[in-house]
Amino acid sequence: MDMPWYQIAFGPHYSDLYAHRDRQDARRALCFVDDVLGLDPTEGRVLDLCCGEGRHSLELLERNPRARVTGIDLSEHLLDRALRNSRTEGRALSLVRADMRTLPILDGVFTLVLNLFTSFGYFREPRENRKTFLEVGRVLRPGGAFVFDHINPAWLRNNLKPETARTTPSGIQVRESRWIDEENRRVEKRIEFESDGCRESLLESVRLYEPEEVLEMGKDAGLDPLDRRGDFDGRALTAESPRAIYVFGKN
């Protein structure tokens, strides 16, 4: 049986392929959380859900050294990088390997949960994706907030680039093909590159969620919608917005 794409894609080449998603990019997102939303990460505990190599977690700790941050991810490779990065920077970052659908966390632990950079919609069945929202609602304490950053389907449909080519910082030539599977409401991306003389190919597949679907998942998880924005500069969410950023609160 083939492994799901998300158990393959976040391996040794990921950091090079996505080097443009760097600390400066993370800083912009955390400035949005702090300055635009007015959420204070020093109050209580913060969960960076799908933390990857820890760029958002570590940027949060740089901005707020007193914050208590836990990063959770499924990729052992990226968690190893996050651990090394946290040790290099001398940051107290707690890291846990887990599936976002079944978090090994007690109820009501966190005051803030962050899910940034399209780290959702990976599972083929919509009910499996909904489990993540249910888990977020469970681990949030009353008065807590959930910041959910995802694809804006309306913008994507008008701006999708079917083919692109680029060179990574290490010199790898990359070709990317993108298409929308309207029947299953997913955006698919195939990444092809050559490494050590071998051609490699990775597939990414993410389900598209309309605003009303996101709000419904929040409602089912006991989360109230507080705000919607279309980018990390804080502009309103419209059909022309490059991102869809939702803020939920738990009563």
- What percentage of the chain has pLDDT greater than the value 90? 88
Mean pLDDT of the chain: 95
Question: What pLDDT was estimated at residue 100?
Answer: 98
Total tally of structural domains belonging to the chain: 2
Given pLDDT bands bounded at 50, 70 and 90, which one contains residue 34? confident
Q: What is the largest CA-CA distance in the chain?
A: 55
Question: What pLDDT was estimated at residue 39?
Answer: 83
Contact 209, 218 (CB under 8 A): no
How far CA 82 is from CA of 29, 79, 96, in Å, comes to: 18, 5, 11
What is the domain extent for residue 186? 156-204
Contact 195, 13 (CB under 8 A): yes
Nearest 5°: the CA angle 57, 95, 18 is 55
Instruction: Based on the fold, state whether residues 137 and 160 are members of the same structural domain.
Output: no
Give kind and range of the element (H or E) at residue 224. strand 223-229
Instruction: Based on the fold, state whether residues 129 and 86 are members of the same structural domain.
Output: yes
Given pLDDT bands bounded at 50, 70 and 90, which one contains residue 1? low
Instruction: Based on the fold, state whether residues 109 and 219 are members of the same structural domain.
Output: yes
Instruction: Based on the fold, state whether residues 200 and 228 are members of the same structural domain.
Output: no
Structure tokens at 216: 């419904």
Q: How far apart are CA 202 and CA 5, in angstroms?
A: 8
pLDDT tens, position by position, 209-238: 999 999 999 999 999 999 999 999 999 999
Task: Give the mean pLDDT of 74-90.
Answer: 97
Task: Give the mean pLDDT of 202-209.
Answer: 97
Torsion of CA 174, 18, 78, 87, to 10 degrees: 130
Question: What pLDDT was estimated at residue 195?
Answer: 78
The DSSP symbol for 236 reads: B
Question: What pLDDT was estimated at residue 225?
Answer: 97
Instruction: Based on the fold, state whether residues 121 and 199 are members of the same structural domain.
Output: no
Q: Which of 128, 77, 75 is nearest to 98 (CA)?
A: 75
Instruction: Based on the fold, state whether residues 238 and 180 are members of the same structural domain.
Output: no
Within 8 A by CB and 6+ apart from 173, the residues are: 165, 167, 193, 194
Instruction: Based on the fold, state whether residues 54 and 20 are members of the same structural domain.
Output: yes
Question: What's the number of CA atoms in the CB half-sphere (13 Å) around residue 7?
Answer: 7
Give kind and range of the element (H or E) at residue 46. strand 45-49
- Is the pLDDT at 121 greater than 70, yes or no? yes
Render 186-199 in DSSP notation, one character per residue. EEEEEEEEEETTEE
Give the amino acid at 91: R
pLDDT tens, position by position, 176-201: 999 999 999 999 999 999 877 789 99
Instruction: Based on the fold, state whether residues 148 and 165 are members of the same structural domain.
Output: no
Instruction: Based on the fold, state whether residues 63 and 135 are members of the same structural domain.
Output: yes
The partner residues of 243 in beta bridges, in order of sequence, read: 151
Instruction: Based on the fold, state whether residues 170 and 110 are members of the same structural domain.
Output: no
Q: How far apart are CA 50 and CA 62, in angstroms?
A: 19
Task: Give the mean pLDDT of 106-129.
Answer: 97
Instruction: Based on the fold, state whether residues 89 and 161 are members of the same structural domain.
Output: no
- Is the pLDDT at 37 greater than 70, yes or no? yes
Instruction: Based on the fold, state whether residues 228 and 196 are members of the same structural domain.
Output: no
Q: What are the φ/ψ torsions at residue 28 (nearest 5 degrees)?
A: -60, -45
CATH number of 137's domain: 3.40.50.150
